Amino acid sequence: MLDDKYHADRAVGTMQDKKITAKNVQVFYGDTHAIKDVNVDIADKTVTAFIGPSGCGKSTFLRCLNRMNDTIDICRVEGDILIDDEDIYDPRVDPVQLRAKVGMVFQKPNPFPKSIYDNVAYGPKIHGLAKTKADLDEIVESSLRKAALWNEAKDRLHQPGTGMSGGQQQRLCIARAIATAPEILLMDEPCSALDPIATAQVEELIDELRQSFSVVIVTHSMQQAARVSQKTAFFHLGNLVEFDDTDKIFTNPQDPRTESYISGRIG
């Protein structure tokens, strides 16, 4: 029955507009050619999973989408990445503004050593999204609600975020990313540091987030990709090998490398 629900969702997902378009993207770390000629269209209101063996470039590509690679001196990106038909590597684009629009959740929960409230209010404060204290309270509450953390956090908003459990911390980081009202959420192995129960909660949350955001998730777990995503991209040695509907990738892959990977022969 669960499977039926996902099938239905996926059918909806494929009909959405494209949100991100990557054309001939190359990434170099110094002399290493980390991403080779990647072309991909990522749809709005969809969860897109990037899978592939370690070092295949999936995280690197994810970090290109909000220009986090700019902080690495030796990293060089070529090709075009368009979000809403706007080239994000255009000199006129301010990476700081871009990152407010393209939120990111990291592998390890990284709440700031501040209170829960201040963690969530951080983004809205620096971007001036709240006029009054009441506005800010409102944003914090709705972000925590969207991150399914409100019930657990409402009585301890002013206690440090670092005191929460791993799963709660990760949902706090998701709430923090949501609070800047992004359009796209990038998640870099968001569950790899969590236990199975916390993982299940975060996965459930990701499925709900699809209502409002375009979600791109990098994962090592093929089961997770199958559970949460509608589209899956398989990366191997810096190449985008295959990109298609998730159920198609997992049931009827076109490329022999994809098939080897999902059946556990390479990786």
Q: Which parts of this chain interact with other proteins (CB under 8 A)? A: 66, 68, 71, 73, 96-101, 103-104, 106, 108, 110-114, 122-123, 126-127, 162, 173, 176-177, 180
Taking the C-alpha atoms of residue 258 and residue 145, their distance in angstroms, rounded to an integer, is: 38
Taking the C-alpha atoms of residue 175 and residue 185, their distance in angstroms, rounded to an integer, is: 11
CB of 91 to other proteins, least distance (A): 17
CB of 19 to other proteins, least distance (A): 18
Q: Which of 233, 257, 199, 187 is nearest to 43 (CA)?
A: 233
Taking the C-alpha atoms of residue 172 and residue 161, their distance in angstroms, rounded to an integer, is: 8
Query: Between residues 48 and 69, which has the closer beta carbon with respect to other proteins?
Result: 69
List C-alpha distances in Å: 86 to 20, 41, 61.
9, 14, 18
Q: What is the DSSP letter of 76?
A: E
Query: Between residues 188 and 203, which has the closer beta carbon with respect to other proteins?
Result: 188
CB of 118 to other proteins, least distance (A): 9
Query: Between residues 101 and 257, which has the closer beta carbon with respect to other proteins?
Result: 101
Query: Between residues 97 and 223, which has the closer beta carbon with respect to other proteins?
Result: 97
Taking the C-alpha atoms of residue 250 and residue 242, their distance in angstroms, rounded to an integer, is: 11
CB 263 within 8 A of CB 79: no
Query: Between residues 36 and 127, which has the closer beta carbon with respect to other proteins?
Result: 127
CB of 177 to other proteins, least distance (A): 7
Query: Between residues 143 and 230, which has the closer beta carbon with respect to other proteins?
Result: 143
CB of 120 to other proteins, least distance (A): 10
Strand locations in 44-134 (E): 47-51, 75-83, 86-87, 102-105
CB of 188 to other proteins, least distance (A): 9
Taking the C-alpha atoms of residue 120 and residue 223, their distance in angstroms, rounded to an integer, is: 30
Please give the structure tokens belonging to residue 85. Answer: 């038909």
Calculate the CA 231 to chain-centre distance: 13
Query: Between residues 18 and 108, which has the closer beta carbon with respect to other proteins?
Result: 108
Angle between helices 166-178 and 116-127 (to 10 degrees): 20
CB of 58 to other proteins, least distance (A): 17
CB 167 within 8 A of CB 195: yes
